[in-house]
Structure 1
Amino acid sequence: MRTIIIDDEPDNVELLAFQLARNCQQVEIVGRYTESTEGLEGIRSLKPTLVFLDIEMPVMNGFQLLKKTADLNFSVIFVTAYDQYAVQAFRFSALDYLLKPIDSDDLIAAVRRAENLTKINPHQLDMLRSYHPSTGVSLPDRVAMPHKGGLTFIELRQIIYCEADSNYTRFHLSNGEQYIISKTLGDVQEVLEVREFIRVHRQFMVNIHHIIRLIKGEGTYLQLTNGITVPVARQQKERLLERFGRL
């Protein structure tokens, strides 16, 4: 894999190059850049198949750099020191990332995934940019559902609830369709709980706009707009009511 590293910290570039040489023999480093403008020219002239790209850089950040490429016909692994909240955006997209300092096992896994990935989708980049702290843009009202052919962008209001299915999550939509993705409900929770969803049970997470009523009996249940009822765990009941407020 013809590979370029772009990071404004020279030590980070050299360390990543060392880790790649030691752990990823399928990688050939054809360019190392510590200035974003030079890195952009390197992409244009060397035509890599894989780019390791820092996000926070002078002159152009990683997103701005990619926006200037004529076509994104290479895989990208973002290298970031973002905090956990900001990284949620990466977790739910088909884009890959590594947190600094880079763990060798994570690096090996990311390169293996990159070998099987198609080129980056511009819509993915636009969605990811909206999470960037410097943009001041609110969280988007859609999420990207990965599938074999690429991505499907689903409006959050269409999602009634999410259901855990082993290491997968099943999304139930208002039009009756279902999507299954290879992420746990815990992964999904990290992305959606800041966007008007709430985990009410180890197996279920619901869109609060699709809740009609809370039903008490032998247990506690929520009736949703599609007529389905889902259980509410005892320890989640008060948290749910706090989210709404009670008269």
Structure 2
Amino acid sequence: MIKPCNYLLSGPFPIQRKDGSWEVMEGCGAQHSQHHTPCKGGIWYSTDVSVGEVKALASLMTYKCAVVDVSFGGAKAGEREMSWIVDTYISTIGHYDINAHACVTGKLIGQGGIHGWISVTGGGVFHGIENFINEASYMSILGMTPGFGDKTFVVQSFEGLERKFGKHVRTIPIVPKAEFQDRILGALEKDIVHSGLAYTMEHSARRIMHTAVKYNLGLDLRTAADVNTIEKVFKVYSEAGVTFM
């Protein structure tokens, strides 16, 4: 029930080349699950993408959202393209919609995007590692001491996520200062995003640790995360009565 992709839409759309000529191309969109709506995903312009790949990306988004308790189903661009979608929606069927700018995420700041969102992927990796690296029981299995001290991190490349992760490791204290945690009034949007990210990753990490212990998975944290995801999605299906259809 959870595995199949629920909806797939395909159709032609026109694009204008740099030389001014027009070309009609085929595109497709997938929604893996509507157990929580709206569905979250992205847009990918590529001549190499296949229908199967789009469906797989949509399902991965469902699992990624579920593992950190983000209440979206999965669906499957760049800032510029997302801003174009907002502009088109507002100028057509969305001009009476007060929340028109919220029709997509990942927009440019000037088009209603959220300050701080660019660094959340690397920041999420940092906060996820932070929770495990400070857990003595996990570090003892690896023969290491808790904390970032005397640890070396190796990244495969140095693109967006890796740069943001490196920035967090170098500059963010492992334990946020009390005044930062207590600061609500007058907080910048970026501060709220980063504070919420730290809480979300800590909550998710603790649940993964609990599941790993519950099912005796040891250091197989990926399986523990998969178990959490399946249990959460199935719970929503069950509460909605979908499992009895």
Instruction: Pick the TM interval, shorter chain.
Output: under 0.3
Q: Kindly indicate which of the two structures has a greater share of residues assigned to helix.
A: 2
TM-score, normalised with respect to structure 2: 0.23
Q: Please, what TM-score do these two structures have when normalized by structure 1?
A: 0.23
Q: Which has the higher contact order (CA 8 A, sep 6+)?
A: 2
More strand by share: 1
